């Protein structure tokens, strides 16, 4: 794999930002509400509006929030979401608070079962998606998200998430950060650890995506790690503030560096 294969994913919060990002040359659009957490769900209407604005020019992904939120959701809300995400290329759920103890007895909680349960409610028979590959029609692929600062999120570590991703038919492993406080992925995982995760991910025919408050300043290390996808938001927002608006010029500059 060469550096030239690295794709640039930019997270957008609405259709206007999506239009700007596509015209600036991004490879993948991701729909996310930055004020709602690291994987904040932007809402069904926003997801549909972004899909309409992108109009098939590049793949569209969506962050669906944290798995725990949907475990507590009403069936009608799950049904609405399941309908909305059908035309997407990728979807992802966070695993924050999935390793908190659920009772006072010694029975360990199985976050993988809970994660798979929610996934199956949203996309039935999702186990077979990755195997189906390019033959699948209008069925999003699952992206497994591992938080580099997993202890702060009470989430499983990257190695555990990768193992579960392999077993449950995900197409991609994404490394991100839970807390957006300036402490990025490279503060929590070393270059060598990330390279090993990428190697293991590729060995099992999954793609490897890297995010977590990374900017153009980290590009030398990112290129050494060789992810398939470099995923950003703050790095291409005005003032490098992830809650600000994406900048076409900053996207073009980053894309040129890639």
Q: What is the pLDDT of residues 132-181, one digit of tens each?
A: 444 445 689 999 999 999 999 999 999 999 999 999 999 999 999 999 99
**Look-up: residue for tokens 């962050």?**
63
Phi-psi region of 56 (alpha: psi -120 to 50; beta: other; left: phi over 0): left
* Cα–Cα distance measured from residue 155 to residue 200, given in angstroms and rounded to the nearest whole number: 20
Mean pLDDT in order along the chain per 10 residues (258 residues): 74 98 98 96 97 97 96 90 94 93 55 95 65 57 98 96 97 97 96 98 98 95 97 95 96 94
Contact criterion met (CB below 8 Å) for 155 and 99: yes
Distance of CA 256 to the CA centre of its chain: 23
**Mean per-residue pLDDT over the chain, rounded:** 91
Angle between helices 44-54 and 75-84 (to 10 degrees): 0
CA-closest candidate to residue 51, choices 15, 80, 27: 15
* Cα–Cα distance measured from residue 14 to residue 158, given in angstroms and rounded to the nearest whole number: 30
User: What confidence score (pLDDT) does residue 105 get?
Assistant: 52
Which domains, ranges and CATH numbers included, belong to the chain? 3-100+110-257 (3.20.20.70)
User: What confidence score (pLDDT) does residue 102 get?
Assistant: 52
User: What confidence score (pLDDT) does residue 99 get?
Assistant: 83
* Cα–Cα distance measured from residue 152 to residue 119, given in angstroms and rounded to the nearest whole number: 24
Contact criterion met (CB below 8 Å) for 170 and 133: no
CA-closest candidate to residue 28, choices 89, 114, 106: 89
Phi-psi region of 113 (alpha: psi -120 to 50; beta: other; left: phi over 0): alpha
């Amino acid at each position: 794999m060469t550096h030239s294969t690295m794709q640039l994913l930019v997270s957008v919060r609405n259709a206007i930002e999506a239009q700007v990002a596509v015209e600036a040359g991004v490879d993948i659009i991701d729909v996310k509400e930055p004020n709602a957490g690291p994987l904040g769900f932007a809402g069904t209407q926003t997801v549909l509006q972004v899909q309409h604005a992108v109009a098939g020019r590049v793949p569209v992904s969506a962050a669906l929030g944290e798995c725990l939120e949907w475990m507590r959701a009403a069936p009608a809300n799950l049904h609405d979401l399941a309908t909305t995400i059908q035309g997407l290329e990728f979807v992802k759920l966070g695993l924050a608070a999935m390793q908190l103890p659920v009772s006072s007895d010694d029975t360990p909680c199985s976050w993988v079962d809970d994660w798979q349960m929610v996934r199956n409610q949203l996309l039935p028979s999702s186990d077979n998606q990755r195997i189906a590959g390019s033959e699948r029609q209008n069925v999003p692929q699952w992206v497994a998200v591992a938080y580099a600062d997993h202890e702060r999120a009470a989430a499983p570590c990257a190695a555990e998430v990768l193992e579960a991703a392999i077993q449950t038919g995900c197409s991609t492993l994404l490394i991100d950060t839970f807390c957006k406080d300036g402490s990025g992925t490279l503060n929590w995982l070393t270059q060598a650890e990330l390279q090993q995760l990428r190697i293991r991910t590729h060995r099992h025919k999954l793609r490897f995506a890297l995010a977590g408050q990374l900017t153009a300043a980290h590009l030398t290390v990112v290129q050494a790690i060789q992810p398939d996808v470099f995923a950003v938001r703050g790095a291409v927002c005005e003032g490098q503030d992830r809650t600000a608006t994406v900048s076409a010029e900053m996207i073009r500059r980053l894309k040129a560096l890639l």
